């Protein structure tokens, strides 16, 4: 719903006005997860029905209310590992990184994140081996019509930690987006 309100908007600031929709998504996910207890049924990888994973992920990366982001991330960690084509651990790793990258520029969670420091787009690429993950984060630090910046980062699955671990930033680039 938040995206539908401003589909052609090139700024990330309108997402701030969608806080109520993000809050509703988090509350509904909490209700669904609580009502299903530990028996949450997940669809087969071959089904394309959407469960709670995509809205929680979208809330974690696009809602700039710190409290709601963290609630969405916490719920995302509680869902089963797979939901259709979605992989919980991949989404958690990406969402954590978006929150970290955007939050580094503000001294308090109550201070709005400047538009120039917001992640505009995340491109997730599964590597050939199923244990590696790459993502490119796109920013618009020079304004909406300026040159975009991109950060590419990779993660490797750590069985001992039970999560993806960052290999670090592999490349940064600027270019017209």
Task: Say what the pTM is.
Answer: 0.82
Mean residue pLDDT across the chain = 81
Query: Rounded distance, CA 83 to CA 27, Å?
Result: 19
Sort 13 into a burial class: Cβ within 10 Å, 0-12 / 13-18 / 19+: middle
Kind of pairing between the strands at 163-175 and 148-158:
antiparallel
Q: What confidence tens digit (pLDDT) does each residue in 73-105 have?
A: 999 999 988 887 888 999 999 999 999 999 887
pLDDT in tens, 126-157: 766 667 888 888 888 777 777 888 888 888 88
Domain boundaries of the chain, sorted by first residue: 2-175
Segment 8-29 mean pLDDT = 85
Is it the case that residue 42 has pLDDT exceeding 60? Answer: no
């Amino acid at each position: 719903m938040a995206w539908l309100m401003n589909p052609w908007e090139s700024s990330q600031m309108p997402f701030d006005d969608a806080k109520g929709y993000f809050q509703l998504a988090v509350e509904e996910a909490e209700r669904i997860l609580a009502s299903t207890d530990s028996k949450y049924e997940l669809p087969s990888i071959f089904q394309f029905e959407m469960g709670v994973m995509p809205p929680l992920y979208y809330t974690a990366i696009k809602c700039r209310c710190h409290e709601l982001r963290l609630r969405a991330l916490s719920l995302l960690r509680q869902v089963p590992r797979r939901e259709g084509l979605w992989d919980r651990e991949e989404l958690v790793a990406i969402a954590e990184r978006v929150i970290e990258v955007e939050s580094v520029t503000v001294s308090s969670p109550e201070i709005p994140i400047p538009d120039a420091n917001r992640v505009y787009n995340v491109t997730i690429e599964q590597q050939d081996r199923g244990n590696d993950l790459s993502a490119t984060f796109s920013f618009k630090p020079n304004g909406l019509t300026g040159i975009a910046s991109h950060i590419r980062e990779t993660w490797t699955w750590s069985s001992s930690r039970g999560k993806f671990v960052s290999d670090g930033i592999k490349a940064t680039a600027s270019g017209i987006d």
